[in-house]
């Protein structure tokens, strides 16, 4: 910390030289430092989603998320890690078209949502299934 001027540098860190640890021990030490921050951030995100949803400013309905993404109306999108929902979005109407991944015209809806939100300067956060506030695979907080 005396060398770096990075404002994001954590006060508590690993006190051992990185090259003195094997990769697994280093990973464990890093996770031990970061886990409390991660848990707090995910809690804040999920709480924000629940509050937004209670005010009709959020949804976990995939069709509504598709339309909101097309309208640049998603500020934060929560995506379930390791989940794939085969389909595509009609970019004219926002309609979801379901299909099978072996069809070359079909993609992963969650990936498409994430790309659209990211391109529109929204935040995309991937959460493990047990941290998701929904079982649909996605949850969106709207801009307005």
The sheet with strand 123-127 has its strands ordered as: 58-59, 138-142, 74-80, 123-127
The sheet with strand 107-108 has its strands ordered as: 96-98, 86-89, 107-108
- Give the whole-angstrom CA distance, residue 140 versus residue 144: 12
Q: Could you list the pLDDT tens digit for every one of the 144 residues in the chain?
A: 567 788 777 777 777 776 788 899 889 988 988 999 999 999 999 999 999 999 999 999 999 999 999 999 999 999 999 999 999 999 998 899 999 988 988 999 999 999 999 999 999 999 999 999 999 999 999 999
CATH of 32-142, one of 3.30.70.3000, 3.30.1330.30, 3.30.300.30, 3.40.630.30: 3.30.1330.30
Tell me the pairing of strands 123-127 and 58-59. Answer: unpaired
Taking the complete model, does pTM exceed 0.75, yes or no? yes
């Amino acid at each position: 910390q005396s060398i770096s001027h990075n404002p994001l540098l954590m006060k508590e860190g690993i006190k051992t030289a990185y090259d003195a640890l094997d990769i697994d021990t280093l990973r464990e030490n890093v996770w031990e430092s970061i886990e409390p921050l991660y848990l707090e951030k995910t809690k804040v995100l999920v709480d924000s989603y629940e509050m937004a949803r209670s005010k009709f400013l959020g949804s976990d309905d995939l069709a509504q998320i598709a339309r909101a993404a097309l309208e640049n109306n998603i500020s934060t999108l929560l995506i379930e890690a390791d989940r794939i929902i085969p389909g595509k979005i009609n970019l004219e109407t926002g309609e979801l078209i379901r299909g099978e991944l072996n069809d070359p015209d079909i993609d992963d809806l969650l990936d498409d949502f994430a790309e659209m939100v990211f391109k529109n300067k929204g935040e995309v956060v991937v959460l493990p299934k047990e941290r998701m506030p929904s079982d649909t695979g996605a949850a969106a907080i709207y801009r307005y």
